[in-house]
Amino acid sequence: MSSRIVILGAGTGGTLIANRLRRSLPADRASITVIDRDDRHVYQPGLLFVPFGLAHADDIVRPRSRQLHDGIDWVESAVERVETARDAVVLADGREVPYDVLIVATGAELAPEETEGLTGAGWGVSAFTFYDLPGASALAEALPLLDGGRLVVNIVDMPIKCPVAPLEFCFLADWFLRERGVRDAVELTLVTPLDGAFTKPVASAALGGLLEEKGVRLVTEFNTGEVAYGAGGRGGTITGYDGREQPFDLAAVIPAHGGAGYVLRSPGLGDALGFVPADPATLQSKAAPNVFAIGDASDLPVSKAGSVTHFEGEVLAGNVLRFLEGRPLDASYDGHANCFIETGFSKALLIDFNYDTEPLPGRFPGPAGLPLLKESRLNHLGKLMFQWFYWHTLLPGRDIPGIGAHMPTAGKHRPDGGPQTSTQKEDPTA
Amino acid sequence: MSTAIYAGVTVDVNDEGFLERPEQWTREIAVELARADGIAELTDRHWQVIEFMRQEFFAKGTGPTVRALGKSSGVSVKELYQLFPKGPAKTAAHIAGIPKPKGCI
């Protein structure tokens, strides 16, 4: 009997799970259909480099359909809603696509309109986001014109995609302004709802130290309430719910995130923010047993990052096969995440962590590997090389040699000599 | 874990003062927890949020974040901060007798 597997979204998660499943399932056992609203696949880690002229739009966009292997059906259409009660996806034009297994892989979307005033006169004039291609490209025009004043990097709310990207932006901005000889004339500030530079204590201390070293002011526990712009949208003030004010001449804003719009229109599928509640170890949704979620689209307590999606892919592919065969699911996804953090001047840091173990110093993936939580040129090369791996290894759904889905512990150590496993830090934005 | 007495009832609390067992909670306890958080009087709007927090907790196993509260409790984020100036999700969870909302990444 042939099963119908439908995958919503052809980003990192949708593409890699489609390709993995196609390799494991003969065509007579399952059809695989991937649906996305457009045919432009953006290499999202590349967005960070665009404002600094280190990458251009052409370098980081490829057709989505070209990343899907033979034997996968491609449908270019927006989704109106999913009806899990009758196993059907309703497309924007009313057509219906029935499924036996549905995988939600539509990622996270930016919601700048949720912040009062943000999308007013200064949006695209003095306030930009580098979290999408138009915003990052517009910032690439504005940043070279900044010769002095206040540059504010503002995280509106958590969760966000790639929680380290705002830090990387600060490090690169510091480098960029120094290269242009105007660093002393610019006050650079990171404004975050977190109580430190990052969500996990050991990395937060290390990254906070780097910010200080580079002269980046850190404003914490700041819950953005509204943005008001000056005349002609030039400059403005970000005001927190507690009344604190952050004036800026140029702002790089990371807007609030939510799930794809159709999730909220699909009865029982998503939470209040449009993310899909799913089992953190099996990736099966809470909405229905034949619905799974991968990547940024889920509500899992993990970073919304490509590495997470890659590691989830291995477990999810196995679980879809198990589900089709009526076998129990494999509850083995451990929350593994791995991120290079660009720190400017051709250096980068690497962090590796999971649900139970916060990012620790040491080496990855073993004692002879890349240095963890420490700046090095090797990590910077790793970050640049990752783009090749993304198109040629991650998206085809292959494993990276020597790096498995589960977090390695060899080569890591706690700075205080304590046990590696730590409890998760409480959410200070709550 | 230790215990505390609110409204004449002995309840289990964690080291941050959050109730360990939400079923021990009563409205009278909430009034005293609110005073400890600097809220002298709980209005109908406070109660709307507190009751919503408890419903969400018992349905989903965790309290909602501020933004989720703003979208689904019927009280806007702006008003939430007016009602619970020290941080709505955390303070309302404390008063509602449910655990502090879980960490984000």
User: What is the per-residue DSSP string for A71-138?
Assistant: TEEEEE--EEEEEGGGTEEEETTS-EEE-SEEEE---EEE-GGGSBTTTSTTBTTTEE-SSSHHHHHH
* Main-chain phi, psi angles of A317, to 5 degrees: -60, -45
For the beta sheet containing A245-248, the strands, ordered from the edge strand earlier in sequence to the opposite edge, are A224-229, A236-240, A245-248
Pair A174, A187: CB distance under 8 Å: no
Q: Which residues pair with A379 in a beta bridge?
A: none
Question: Model's pTM, two decimal places?
Answer: 0.92
- Residue to substitute from B14, B67, B75, B98, interface A, most A β-carbons within 10 A: B67
Per-residue pLDDT, A424: 42
The answer, yes or no, to whether residue B100 has pLDDT greater than 90, is no
Q: Domains of chain B: which residue ranges? A: 2-96
Q: What does the block give as tokens for A144?
A: 């070279």
Per-residue pLDDT, B15: 85
Q: What is the mean pLDDT of chain A?
A: 94
Measure CB to CB from residue A199 to each of B85, B101, B103 and give the nearest one: B103
Q: Which secondary-structure segment (H or E) carries A238?
A: strand A236-240
Per-residue pLDDT, B63: 85
Band of residue B102 on the pLDDT scale cut at 50, 70, 90: low
**Which of A85-89, A107-111, A220-224, A417-421 comes out lowest in average pLDDT?**
A417-421
User: pLDDT tens digits, residue range B62-94?
Assistant: 888 888 899 999 999 999 999 998 889 889 999
Residue % of chain A over a pLDDT of 90 = 90
* Cβ distance of B103 and A424 shorter than 8 Å: yes
In a 13 Å sphere around the CA of B24, the CA atoms on its Cβ side amount to 18
Q: Is A407 left (phi over 0), alpha (psi -120 to 50) or beta?
A: beta
Q: Which secondary-structure segment (H or E) carries A191?
A: strand A186-191
Which residues neighbour A17 within 8 Å (Cβ) at sequence distance 6 or greater? A7, A103, A105, A294, A313, A316, A317, A320, A397
Catalytic, out of B1, B40, B59, B104: B104
Residue A153 Cα distances to A186, A379, B66, angstroms:
13, 24, 22
Please work out, in degrees rounded to the nearest 5, the angle formed at the alpha carbon of residue A125 by the alpha carbons of A121 and A126.
100
The answer, yes or no, to whether residue A168 has pLDDT greater than 60, is yes
The answer, yes or no, to whether residue B105 has pLDDT greater than 90, is no
Band of residue A261 on the pLDDT scale cut at 50, 70, 90: very high
CATH of B2-96, one of 3.30.365.10, 1.10.10.370, 3.30.70.100, 2.40.240.10: 1.10.10.370
Band of residue A87 on the pLDDT scale cut at 50, 70, 90: very high
Per-residue pLDDT, A420: 57
CA-to-CA distance for A127 and A250, rounded, in angstroms? Answer: 6
Instruction: Fill in the DSSP letter of residue A163.
Output: T
Domains with residue ranges and CATH for chain A: 3-50+60-110+258-324 (3.50.50.60), 112-256 (3.50.50.60)
Helix, strand, or coil (residue A48):
helix
β pairing state of A245-248 and A250-254: unpaired
Per-residue pLDDT, A419: 61
A430: which chain B residues are within 8 Å (Cβ-Cβ)?
Answer: 63, 65-66, 87, 89-90, 93, 100-101, 104
Per-residue pLDDT, A426: 40
Per-residue pLDDT, B87: 85
Per-residue pLDDT, B59: 87
Q: What is the mean pLDDT of chain B?
A: 91
Band of residue A430 on the pLDDT scale cut at 50, 70, 90: very low
Per-residue pLDDT, A186: 98
The answer, yes or no, to whether residue A404 has pLDDT greater than 90, is no
The answer, yes or no, to whether residue B43 has pLDDT greater than 50, is yes
Band of residue A364 on the pLDDT scale cut at 50, 70, 90: very high
Band of residue A421 on the pLDDT scale cut at 50, 70, 90: low
Per-residue pLDDT, A415: 80
- Residue to substitute from B18, B52, B104, interface A, most A β-carbons within 10 A: B104
User: pLDDT tens digits, residue range A277-310?
Assistant: 999 999 999 999 999 999 999 999 999 999 999 9
